[in-house]
Amino acid sequence: MELTLSIPALLFPAISLTMLAYNARYLAIAALIRSLHGKYEENASETVLLQVKKLSKRLTIIKNMQAVAIVSFLLAVITMFLIYIELSFWANIVFGTSLVALMVSLILSLIEVQLSTKALSIQLQNIERKN
């Protein structure tokens, strides 16, 4: 298959939307950590400390998701440049690497969603036990 400029360009909207979603997750978790930090300062609860540790792990995953998505975006741009200067062999390799990076980013996103869901289910169980 002939790799043309339009093929790597197809990744631009997908990666851009992915980055927006990742950034929204990051901001939400950062706000939650700040809120929990305030609660921990008021009442040094072990539960709050545990929640902050879990959120810190999720924050690290989101940071890695963002980094790998940026690498994917950069590799797509490099691919377009390589196509432009007619180095099709290298363009194919770099584009394949870009796709792998995007897949890694999406896998990290899936892991983070699973952690988020597990944390919410634990909190729901705590609420149900109290009632």
102 domain residue, yes or no: yes
1 domain residue, yes or no: no
105 domain residue, yes or no: yes
89 domain residue, yes or no: yes
* Segments forming the whole domain that contains residue 39: 6-130
92 domain residue, yes or no: yes
93 domain residue, yes or no: yes
| 51: CB partners within 8 A, 6+ apart | 36, 119
pLDDT tens across the length of the chain (131 residues): 788 888 888 888 888 888 899 889 888 888 888 887 777 777 777 777 777 778 888 899 999 999 999 999 999 999 999 999 999 999 999 999 999 999 999 999 999 999 888 777 777 776 777 76
Query: Six-digit token pair at 35?
Result: 């809120």
**Does this model's pTM top 0.85?**
no
**Closest C-alpha among 3, 4, 11, 2 to residue 75:** 11
109 domain residue, yes or no: yes
97 domain residue, yes or no: yes
Query: Six-digit token pair at 42?
Result: 């008021």
How many domains is the chain built from? Answer: 1
